[in-house]
């Protein structure tokens, strides 16, 4: 995806955590009470990617205060954990998250081939810790070359990755892409290539991306349905309102994303996870926690699994 501009500097960790602890009991938006549901609520986790300025235990503490059920760890060169250090750093992060009563059900990675020297180490470390879901990276097309041979390489890569994933009992997934020069901007391509690979690989569906690329989320969501293993909740301004007509992230509910996909997801009895991304400028200190909890409240309302309570 095209990263949004972040004009404000990251706060110091000490200032941020002090402000977060205070703001946790002082924010003005209503607290939420769980609504009865026979299916139980869909777990909502937060993406660690947007909070790289926090160290492992600080991020685990923030996740607990923000109200997520867990974290999606970012095991990427520019993420929370460098893939070359995954054997040491991921268990430390995993344990810190568990100590705060949270889960780490998923990893986000840049992996797209077993030919990456770090790939097997990342996948085997996740399996050893019991992290069952791993999102793969994105394949970029070379515009100067025919597309069919490039798709054949992706089929090969997914076949090899899927074989290892089956051996170590984890599930791999691919997210629909935001840019047309990346594989998977059309879910139809994802489905076709996964079928050709012969592997049990899932799809992480991002409805906001589908709306920007195709104008609607529903047809793309229908294509992903049979392989859906997770969904991302984030939002973008309409391209006509964005600088240079490029994707620009914004607060959930302030852009193109709509409740319909998440309402349908809840009604379907979906058993996967939903991960919130915060890729817009979050500000400093109290503002960061307020954005995190406001977006969470918006998503909870869209899913229909929480409702405001006047008694809390």
DSSP 85: G
Give the percent of the chain with pLDDT over 70: 85
End-to-end CA distance of the chain: 39
**178-234 pLDDT, tens digit each:** 998 999 999 999 999 999 999 999 999 999 999 999 999 999 999 999 999 999 999
245 burial (CB, 10 Å; 0-12 / 13-18 / 19+) is exposed
Q: Are strands 32-34 and 306-308 parallel, antiparallel or unpaired?
A: antiparallel
Q: In terms of C-beta density within 10 A (0-12 exposed, 13-18 middle, 19 or more buried), how is residue 3 classed? A: exposed
Does pTM top 0.75 for this prediction?
yes
The predicted-structure confidence for 60-70, as pLDDT tens digits, reads as follows 999 999 999 99
């Amino acid at each position: 995806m095209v990263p949004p501009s972040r004009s404000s500097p990251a706060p110091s960790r000490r200032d941020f955590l002090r402000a977060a602890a205070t703001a946790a009991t002082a924010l003005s938006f209503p607290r939420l009470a769980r609504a009865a549901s026979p299916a139980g609520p869909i777990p909502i986790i937060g993406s660690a990617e947007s909070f790289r300025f926090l160290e492992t235990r600080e991020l685990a503490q923030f996740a607990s205060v923000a109200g997520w059920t867990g974290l999606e760890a970012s095991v990427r060169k520019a993420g929370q954990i460098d893939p070359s250090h995954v054997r040491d750093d991921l268990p430390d992060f995993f344990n810190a998250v568990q100590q705060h009563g949270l889960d780490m059900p998923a990893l986000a990675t840049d992996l797209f081939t077993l030919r990456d020297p770090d790939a097997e180490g990342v996948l085997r470390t996740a399996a050893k810790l019991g992290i069952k879901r791993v999102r793969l990276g994105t394949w970029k097309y070379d515009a100067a070359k025919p597309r069919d041979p490039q798709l054949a390489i992706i089929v090969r890569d997914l076949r090899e990755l899927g074989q290892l994933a089956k051996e170590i009992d984890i599930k791999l997934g691919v997210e629909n892409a935001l840019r047309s020069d990346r594989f998977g901007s059309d879910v139809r391509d994802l489905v076709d290539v996964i079928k050709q690979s012969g592997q049990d690989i899932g799809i992480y569906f991002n409805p906001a991306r589908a709306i920007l690329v195709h104008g609607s989320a529903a047809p793309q969501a229908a294509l992903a349905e049979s392989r859906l293993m997770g969904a991302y909740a984030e939002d973008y301004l309409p391209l006509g309102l964005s600088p240079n007509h490029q994707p620009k992230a914004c607060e959930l509910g302030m852009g193109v994303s709509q409740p319909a996909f998440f309402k349908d997801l809840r009604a379907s009895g979906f058993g996967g996870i939903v991960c919130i991304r915060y890729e817009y400028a979050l500000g400093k200190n109290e503002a960061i926690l307020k954005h995190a909890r406001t977006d969470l409240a918006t998503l909870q309302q869209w899913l229909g699994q929480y409702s405001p309570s006047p008694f809390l």
